[in-house]
Amino acid sequence: MNNTDDFHPDLTQDTGDTLHRSLRSQVHHNKTSELRSDTAQTDGMRRMATRTGNSDGTESIWMGETYVSPPTRTDNHHHGKSETAIFVRSGNPAFVFHDGVQEVRIVTAPGDYVFVPPFVPIARRIPTPTTPP
């Protein structure tokens, strides 16, 4: 692109003989059919990834789906340097973490979002109608 402005920057890099586009300068589309299981796993849940640093060079995001069946209590784990945004599709999972003073339990409902900062250890508690989160 020859003319650049704030909305239309020059996203190409001329390496002399070929023109390259950076993965970080493009909008990406991931289909459900592209979900893969070759991502980190935690006991008590099954993860299917669509976008990770291992797949396409993202730096601090993991995108995918996580399946946790009731009744489940996942191991404590953290998401490394990734910021994590979680959308609760179904059920009432509880997200448990320690705030430095005490254990905190966030009980969610379908349609809720949960944000997990990098390196914050969490666990998930998935209740059944007879077992509390």
Proportion of the chain above pLDDT 70, given as a percent: 71
What is the phi/psi pair of residue 62, to 5°? Answer: -125, 130
Residue 23 in tokens: 């993965």
Q: Which CATH architecture has domain 12-126?
A: Sandwich (2.60)
Distances (CA, A) of 4 to 1, 8, 69, 113: 7, 5, 50, 37
For residues 48 and 35, is the Cβ–Cβ distance under 8 A?
yes
pLDDT in tens, 74-117: 888 888 888 888 889 888 889 999 999 999 999 999 999 999 99
pLDDT tops 80 at residue 25: no
**Would the pTM of this model clear 0.85, i.e. be above it?**
no
Instruction: Write down the domain spans for the chain.
Output: 12-126
Closest CA to 110 of 83, 127, 77, 88: 88
pLDDT tops 80 at residue 58: no
